[in-house]
Amino acid sequence: AVMTCNGQLYSVGDAYDQFTIQSISKPFIYAFTLQFNGVEYTHDKVGVEPSGGAFNSEKMSKDGKPFNPYINAGAIACVGILCIGDGDDRYQVLKEFFSTLSFSGSLIMCNETYYSEAATADQNRLIGQVLLKNRIFESEYDMQHGLEAYFMACSTLVNTVDLATMGAVLASGGNHPETKLHIMEKNVADEVRSVMMTCGMYNGAGNWMIDVGFPAKSGVSGGIMGVVVGSCGIAIYSPRLDDNYNSVRGMLVCAELSRMLGLHLMRKNGDSGKKNTEQRKIRGNNGGSSGASTCGGPSKMGGSIRPDSVEGTHKERSKLKFDNALFI
């Protein structure tokens, strides 16, 4: 799904099928924490540098902080320092924030996923203990309830239209493309995108920037949310993952969209990078190459991308063609 900053929605395939948001929740957890606790306090607790390690590592930076908010340690720290009641209270405010950013406007949690994650969270609980020892958390209470809220946040159900809309909020500097509400401060949206640029795709972030070239965040359920500043949010869901836990087909589709529409931030207009993309596809992509080979671009994903024709303001968009969206 693609949602432009002015509210035009395009989708293909099972765009409304739900899946758990997983780590794509992390940029929005970070945004809420920056707005709730303030930038300075949040920076005192969580860094903004790539870790170079596993996304669920308990290793911290030299000053004892999580490397960045988009690995497990950083996201757990962000929820733990919110200090809004217990785990359920913290999740409710986060879920309300996520819902306000989304297309549907009302998101829910997958209980089955939550119970599974809470029951198999030894590594995340170890991370919590390290954060407590390093005085990132003020108390054991914050550690315990921060962890519970984190499990719940990752278990929130979304679809690609929701994620594309949430990405469009970031792309526009904090304005919702449908409701036109100003949900996020511009400086917060700027920071969230900036950290996504270097940390959003785990240890595949460097190759992603070479091949795709715009900020993005992935999740282990198979989702990718991309942000094209001033233009649109992009969301793709395909569960097969590579060695860096990023969606194989999702990366290929994003690379093709970047090439087709000239979305790469580091390439001048007209330089699509087609030759490089065709030669490399996605660098370091060792997982599921046979499954990804059928997804060279929108024309190979079951038809051309179409504007969604839904109730209200979307009805008129059914007359558009995807080619008319090249202005994004």
Beta-carbon count within 10 A of 56 CB? 16
- Residue positions annotated with a catalytic role: 23, 26, 150, 202, 220
What is the 3-class SS of the chain, one letter each residue? CEEECCCCEEECCCCCCCEECHHHHHHHHHHHHHHHHCHHHHHHHCCCCCCCCCCCCCCCCCCCCCCCCCCHHHHHHHHHCCCCCCHHHHHHHHHHHHHHHCCCCCCCECHHHHHHHHHCCHHHHHHHHHHHHCCCCCCHHHHHHHHHHHHHHHCEEECHHHHHHHHHHHHCCCECCCCCCECCCHHHHHHHHHHHHHHCCHHHHHHHHHHCCCCEEECCCCEEEEEECCCEEEEEECCCECCCCCEHHHHHHHHHHHHHHCCCCCCCCCCCCHHHHHHHCCCCCCCCHHHHCCCCCHHHCCCCCEECCCCHHHHHHHHCCHHHHHHC
